[in-house]
Structure 1
Amino acid sequence: MTTVTRTKISNSGISGTPSVIIDKGGKIIALSAEFKKLVPAATAQSIFFELFEEEKLLTLQRIFIDVRKYETISKDTINFETESGIANYDVVISPLRSDNNIYFIVNFYTAGQNISTSETQKFWIASSELEKISDDKKIHSIINKIKLTYPFTFIEKAKIQKEINELEDYFWIKDTFSKYLLVNDKYAESLGFKTSQIENKNEEEFLPKYLTNLYKTIDAYIFGSSNSVIVDSIATPIVGGTARDLSIVQFPLCDLDNNVVALIGFSKKNESAQTETKGIPNSLIFTELPFAIALADKDFKFRGVSKELIELMSLNPKLDLFGQGLSKVFEKKFLQILEEYNKDENITGPHTFNYVFVERNNLHAVVLLQKIFDENERFIGTQISLNKKSDYDSETEAKAKMYDAIIQHSSEAMFIYDIENLKFLEVNDVALNLYGYKRIDFLNMDLTDLYAPEDIQTIIESGESKSGKGIYSGPWRHKKSDGSSVLVELNRSSIDFNNKKAHLNIVRNVSEQSELKRKIQVLETAYENTSDAIISTDKDGFITDINDQVTKKLGYSKKDLETRPFITLLSDDDRAKVNKNIFHSGLLKPLTIDVGFKKTTGSIQSAAIISTPIKNYNGEIESFCLIVKLIEEPVAVKDLAHSQGDNILQIDPPFLSNIFHEILTPINVILGFTQELGESIPAPNEEQKEAIDIIRENQKLLLQIMDNAVEYSTLEQKVIKFRPEEFKFVDILEELKENIRKTAEDKKVVMDYGKISTSIMMETDKTKFLSLLSLFVKFAIQITKENAVYLSASVYESDYCAVRIKDNRNGITPYLLKAFNELFSADENMSRKNYGFSRFSVKLAKKEIDLLSVRKETIMKEGEANEFALIVPLKFVAGDNEKMEVESVTPVKKPESINASKQFSKLNVEQKNAEIIPVKDSMALELGLLSCLYLEDQVDSQMLFKVQFKDLKSIEFAPSFENALPLLKTKKFDFIVMDINLQGEYNGLDALRIIRKMPGFRSVPIIASTAYVQPGARDNFIAAGFSDFVSKPLLREKLLEVLRNLFQG
């Protein structure tokens, strides 16, 4: 015989529990006899908190403040001296809302009051024992029929299917391989399928892995023992999560030899769930409450009723309703509303509505329903509060109906939100369509949900803006349900809605208008600032407008050209061509024509005209936009740059080196902070993005120039340390590839390898040779118009190594060959003018060519240029004119050729282009597992942080260290974010030192934050003991990066 142990919760709290009800000021409204015994000094109208000494008082005040602030259940433990010694009590404070007032019920449970008891059940299911597991007669009948008819015929199966579909519980039969043989509609619906889709398929296809693993264990036990199993409070696949009140029963269907041939499973409600009502106090405590209130358990029975409710409902004052059904007082329609509210798992907050109790002399009342949950968040009952409506309330209701009619029938998007907490109170279908939400989802949101984290500040701005009659403010950026944005203008009015101060917002979608304005601005900017001459004409070719470039380039003023035919500006030979192909063609596409254009001097200049037809709303041509691109003739210009270039570097080389070193550090600082400023813009516009990109590109260029200039000036001093060493050419290829990687990525050019001999041994200064080789390849990448360059190397004339490059598999293109010849010519200004290289980069390359005794050569093949090469001596030869300090080096042992051959056997002409594969971020941070304490004295900063990190497990806020202390003493946090400037006597640095000494917080990450950022701030804060530092505003990505570093290393 096998047994199973279940835990039951005792029904303390129904009777015998010390309980008291207080108002928000702490005055006792009602108290139970048990509380009077526990605290003899307690009386009605006395102040609850004056009954306790300081230690208990601090605990009670703290949890009371939490309940008042968040309107949720809060609890802690205190002790009392009793006749039998010190007794610990769990104090649970719950909010009790009535109309516009709020009260609080305080229950004192003896610590450890929930006693675990064991209940033994037999697993073997015989007919006699089935009665003990389920009292459902339908289940008994169905199981008996299954025993008689299994295995089923088609007709018998259909009969059984019909009966199990009528059950309110889940029911299924599966074979010994966990394949479903029969399921009812209730069970199939909970899985999201139809019965026909589930039958004859394995349960693994429908259940989550944790459930299938559980059922495998249970099934194996049943097959081996022929016993039954009951699983309490099992997590089921029902939409909505865990079915806390269900037990799953599985027992075997055996043949005559007692072999298990199938498993029968069904669900049933837990007995404990049906009877447990912990958290609902006894009825006597509610009797004297000064408002109409009743508490009902989930079986629709009264657990407490105030005298005010009995009087309001015109009932006999002596009537005892405790334990009676709600139908004794409330009519059927009202109970249907209550049942729907209780069943809706999406609603956990209060529900307020107007109701007329027809059976109670047409009593008009405002009804407030509030679900009650125990400390395990299980639903145990409902609070029902009634407030009789006055004439003023009727007037307010009439206004509400008027508002409702206006909102629902308006063609404009509208919503109403509560001024106090920003929660939405009403919305019309037009707004729901605009934002993409369902009505129930929208009404569970607040105004902040319409704003992206970076736009939270605009809530304050929009709240401060004053909208007059018919005047819209904005535009504001709102967030839709799919994450996309919509630009809206708002017209806001202050109203009273359902006894709440509210704002009625009329929403106008201006996304299309805004985009149209943006495009118009772009076009206007281009029109006014382009270097091209632009002429507008009507559909017949008469000029209507010109831009300033027409006057600058052609000499015509706007007055000269207005209403003048465009063709009069062309040469005689081109007039007919333009009329035919543009004005009289009827073509709706842009067209380019080469013409001769007349200037005011009468001379003809070649030009290209780009004609674009402009269409009206019917798609017909109503005008033309003509862009005139003059073809400039080459003019001989004296090369002043060349004449000045020879003297540009005649400064003393040591002085040049020192000056570059002096200015390199401040330039790096300026560039770094410029980049920081660019990255701190959360949503840059197009102009800002362009400016940031220009800064970044020039930053790279400036750093490259400075590095090359410093290195060149050092070499120019001619006190050069030269360190020849022996190495294999293939040994430097990986470092070469890394040196040119960024240039290759920016230019989108791949560096590939041709034939490279693995046996090439060189003896030269490896560092300077690698520098020269990197410049050589970078020049090729930046010059070529192809998408790849190919590097080859081989022994040349027995004593040299030829490092060759080309940009086509078949050979070097004429463009690259010409560029290399110009690049290494005597005229360095050509490289800057034609190819954009810094003169310092070219000078450095030339200097290194001289130092390494390298010569340049074009490699020919079949009489044509095939590659451009640097011919490098295999053994170091110093330049004749250079003064060098040659360092001796220890000879490097020559590696075995077989290893080198194996290592670089893949370097050949057939090698494929390398692909850059993005690395996925495998270090995803699970915010849902982290809790945070944020010490911040600014409410708007708290709001921004809360919206930015709503997916954290929990967030607690404190404006000062004094307010944070109770939280630090009672709760554990995974990390703390602390503003340096706080309210109270302690700043962030003081608080840091104290927290580090508190138990459990020695190693908890504490992140400093401030708006007053100074250079070195992060290092200073870390040196002071903080884990890291983030500057304000605390945007999501900035803090996420710090958290990844702290938690993931």
Structure 2
Amino acid sequence: KDINMSEDELNTYKEIVYNLPNPVAIICEGKFVYGNNAALNFLCLTKENALYDINPLSLIPEKALPEVQKTAIDILQGGSISNVETVLDLPYCKNIHVKISANFIRFEGKPAIFITIDDITESRKFAANSDLMERRFRTLLNNSPGFYYKCHNDNFWTMIDMSDKCFEITGYKPSEFINNAKLSYESIIFPEDREQIRDKINNAISDKIPFQIEYRIRTKSGHIKYVWEKGIAVYEPGDKDITLEGFIMDVTNLMTALKKSKESDNLKNNLLANLNHEFRTPMNSIMGYAEIISSLSADEKILEFTKGILSSSKRLMATLESILKFSEIVSNTLVVNYEILNIVEVVRNQIRIFEISARKKNIILKNICNTEEIFCNLDRVLIGTIVHNLIDNAIKFTNAGTVTVETSVVKLPDAFELAVIKVKDTGIGISRKYHSIIFEEFKQISEGIGRSFEGSGLGLTIAKKLTEIMNGKLNFDSSPGLGSVFTVSFPIVNYKKSGSEQINTPEIIKNKPEVLIVEDNKSNVLVVKNFLRKIANCDYSLNSRDALAMCQSKKYDIILLDINLGERITGEDVMLEIKKIPANENTPIIAVTGYAMSGDKERLLAKGFSEYISKPFDQESLIKLINKTVEEFC
């Protein structure tokens, strides 16, 4: 009546309010006297009359009642509230987060409160999950072997954001670098290295590819450190400035180890054997957490970061694997396990590994073979490494065109036959003056900070030495601009498969096995538990004493036992003690270790372990091993 509405206008207004998406209600004399359709749905009511039987105060948590009653009195005296966050206890659910707006009105001539409600429960959950993922991501960064950064691509590489690990590596807090508050990051880089770094970054930006660089910095304490950096240019929408994002890692110890290794092979091999464990154990946590976060998060930024962490970690592990394999070769500790195998299958499996990387560079990867079986007496792992390194080398030095892997049989006089694998590329080729050094260790045609191609410089060295160890030959022919051809050959053996040789498919686990994880590193425990959460029930122990006590009181289906428990007693000793306990004397025990030198697996299996897995491992590898163990022993 006050605004002089016609009956038609009033009905239209009522219909609009009734169909609003947010709940709307009117409270008069302490009771609901009106509720729109959304309000009825919010309270899970089917009839409007049911609303009138609900006491509005019954929806308010008890501890909030005094404040709500005071606010109601204020509104009835002409006040109002807007978007006030509070919590309601509904009949079907407690702790519903809402935003409430309320105004004073008159209903049928009586003072009343007009309320609109916005249910923000889901948005609060999403925000909480986002905060949780952010905390997990920051935890991952701060426990990684390097630090994340984001900076402007200016003369000073002005920092925008850095993770806390920066302090451990440089001695400076991130806040001292950000916006050049006290100094620029450029100022701690060796002056001799700066120009080459700029050239490397600018070339990567021009080609729109990631960059990888190694250089020296001077820390706050004055110490010199070598760091390895991997980054990429980021083009912000609507912003003309280019920012750089990446990861910087302290590789001083690795560089020092490499320098000393060249001076003394024996010292190098002893040092790398210890580094093997020290790298693999933390990398298992880093890569495991990154894989878990990737599976839990839908945030594109976090997925991008975790993908970068996994990629960088895998590259680091590939470099470490190459160095360790080389140390085994030069120290004559490499164990060769000969078996008659089909090298056609070996080649085919290795080609599959490189299909994605070849596709990313628009390289055509061809496999040519006119037979399904060529048998040789070789080590399966070592021949796989040889073929892997040759294909990797071909793709790395080919910017466009084709990489062809051709497997064939060559007949020699006296009916002697050779299995020949040729890896041809249309890459940059190698000048004849460099042919004499191509198989030397730690050598690349481009070397130093400004080198054009990444890698340790050990791939071809390892391929050559492994070929010779197994009585084969590796040759090559190459010319600049015409590409390269690497040819490896081995004697063929006469062999035919028996009809009984079949591949057994593991059965699906019907009941979750009871698994005990014995590991002194809590981070690795959390990774393994997350990896196995869907297929196994996991208990864990951080030391041998508790592990033995748990085995006394419970029968386990599988035990995952770390070899280095940081105690005087080793994992091997614990395994022998467990086998003395009647409840678990026949329980399969899997050796989990960061020591993955040649012969370790055979030694541990001979000691009495049922299976073996080396760190770092991914979820798929661990689950396959658990399934295999269940099939064979449970």
TM range (shorter): 0.3 to 0.5
> TM-score by structure 1 length?
0.27
Identify, as 1 or 2, the structure richer in helix: 2
Rg: which structure is higher? 1
